[in-house]
Chains A and B, each alone.
Chain A
Amino acid sequence: MKKRLSIVIGSGSILCAASLGLMRALKREGIQVDMSVGCSGGSLYAASIALGWDTETAQSLTVDLYKTDIVEGYTHNLRAAMAGEARFTEASGLVDDKVMLDRLAAAFGEKTFDDTIMPLYVVVTELYSGEAVVFSSGKIVDVTRASSAIPMVFPPVKIGDKLLVDGAVSNPLPIDVAIKEGSDVILAMGFELPTRKRMNSYAAVTSHFNNLYMNNILKSSFAFYNAAHHAELIPVLPAFDRPIGGFDHHQLPYIIEQGERAAAEQIPYLKRLLAESS
């Protein structure tokens, strides 16, 4: 019996582009993926894998996202919200999401989960209960937009009767979905988010706290998934030797290269595993 190979791409905003390097390495070896799971920034790449895009297409459609204009107005709006001059509710974000939505629409258009060539799952967080919600149907634009709704920065997204935010808040590297839906070998690409040494604004402290929590959730859920999976779980963890900001667009080639390097290290083992019959 052929082993079922799943790929899981965790949250990490711009760092998730490293998964393009992973895709490149898999393609070179002719390794077929059977299921794709993504969270937050990773959901864009998980979707492009599931849609069967080649690496070049995925790269050209997704890397444009991380230009600084998608967060225009952030500082000004933060000041206004803190001073109480602007209303801020659970449906608010500090950034108008029009630019981001336009870019996602340019990439995914009207495509739905039905257009994928393999099962695709995207993890999002329900804002009121804080519970993880797994999407396997709907418009890809809406679901990836919801999964990447960084708290406070982008407004949450309403799908059906649910108000949804960033999947990273509940399940930053959703290996559990791949386990539950039936996988043997799981390739999981995850990222630790940067924490800070100095903070001089409320926004900096907030993002530091968020990243610190998400890193701890990542580690403890990863520990559980390792204990819970019956077969092999292979982490692919790209290492970066320099700090990369959320919108360091010019670092993209480096990020992708590090992703490919991290994947290449695991390829020999992966090939042996897949060759072995189960």
Chain B
Amino acid sequence: MPKTKKPRVALVIGSGSVKCAAALGLWKSLDRAGIPIDMLVGCSGGSLYASTMSLGFTLDECIQYTARLWNKDVTLKRNWNGILGAVFPSLFNFGDTFGMVSDKLMLGRLNQVYGEKTFADTKIPLTIMATDFYSGEMVTLAEGKLVDAIRASIAIPFVWSAHKVGGRTLIDGSASNPMPVDVAIKEGAEVILAMGFQSPLPTQVKSISRYAFHINGIMTNSLYHSNFAFHNAAHHAEIIPIFPEFDRPIRLFDTDQIPYVLDQGEKATEAQIPYIRKLLNI
């Protein structure tokens, strides 16, 4: 690393639904240590937090806004048409892009927080990951309306339907790149703080849709591991992994655990602060 120029620092927040709130704990810790972030990349649940941080809101505002976005009302409203369509495809018009949870409330809340804001309004450069629903290729979003990019990035298979952005049908970024460290590398970051999470796996499966969801979780984890392994082995940038530890299972809709999650994120970051400081000479 050249000593003359200050290395560019990127924060990558991987997919992890509710667990992504740990990014706010990370931010708290960096803020206290006076470590600035030059670039933000978010995937799936991580895109919510990356977007809010990039708009320059204060930490308290971020906590408040994101709590409004991801809570039990938003995550539990069933999409009965989608569910019945899965059982009786011909009667209920089963489409390619069905989801089990209605996205009306989610979109409404996203609009309340981000409104018409676009990537051009961010104070810190932001990239959001999504996946092309048909080809499975990763898609990086760095322009357009934030609401659309976030909605696409969190389109968790089987839960929320796919979302159309600029003529492409997009789903959850975690289907192609659950912790997009490579995006930060491509954009020229030298020090990358990578916050990633394992998908939760249940210990019991009681229905076929749960089974499909379980297999999906396994595959997301496999992809997360193989991506991380490759980025570590292949790139020159310094990747500092920040993996918060949780002593209890945190499931997709456990939004009441957010304060605990945030604390764990802060704790995991604290452990890395001395090394980050050494690298940045601060």
Contact = CB atoms under 8 A, between A and B. Distances in A.
Direct contact of A and B (CB under 8 A): yes
Interface of A: 78-79, 81-84, 88-90, 92, 94, 125, 128-130, 132, 151-152, 165, 169-171, 195-202, 205-206, 209-217, 220-221, 223-224, 227-228
Contact of B219 (A89, A169, A201): A169
A220 B201 contact: no
A82 B227 CA distance: 34
Contacts of A81: 207-208
B233 interface: yes
A76 B109 CA distance: 40
Interface stretch (B17-25, B86-94, B249-257, B260-268): B86-94
A224 B226 contact: yes
Given A195-B135, A205-B96, A213-B175, A221 B226 contact: yes
Given A209-B175, A216-B176, A84 B229 contact: no
B87 A83 contact: yes
B207 A170 contact: no
Given A89-B205, A202-B94, A213-B216, A130 B136 contact: no
A129 B217 CA distance: 10
B219 A128 contact: no
22 contacts: A82-B209, A88-B205, A88-B207, A89-B204, A89-B206, A130-B201, A130-B222, A151-B215, A152-B211, A169-B215, A171-B222, A197-B134, A202-B86, A202-B89, A209-B157, A211-B136, A212-B136, A213-B222, A220-B227, A221-B226, A224-B234, A228-B229
Contact of A90 (B86, B214, B233): B214
Q: Which of B86, B157, B226 has the most chain A CB within a 10 Å cutoff?
A: B226
Contacts of A151: 211-212, 215
Given A152-B212, A201-B94, A213-B175, A224 B229 contact: yes
Given A196-B134, A200-B89, A217 B222 contact: yes
A206 B212 contact: yes
Interface in B61-105: 86-87, 89, 94, 96, 98
A125 B205 CA distance: 16
A152 B208 CA distance: 8
A227 B86 contact: no
B223 interface: yes
Q: Which 3 A-B pairs have the closest CB atoms?
A: A130-B218, A212-B136, A213-B219
A82 B94 contact: no
B111 interface: no
A93 to B, nearest CB: 10
Contact of A214 (B94, B135, B158, B219): B219
Nearest to B212: A206
A220 B230 contact: yes
Given A195-B136, A196-B134, A206-B212, A217 B206 contact: no
Given A209-B157, A216-B136, A220-B226, A90 B204 contact: yes
Interface in B184-235: 201, 203-209, 211-212, 214-223, 226-227, 229-230, 233-234
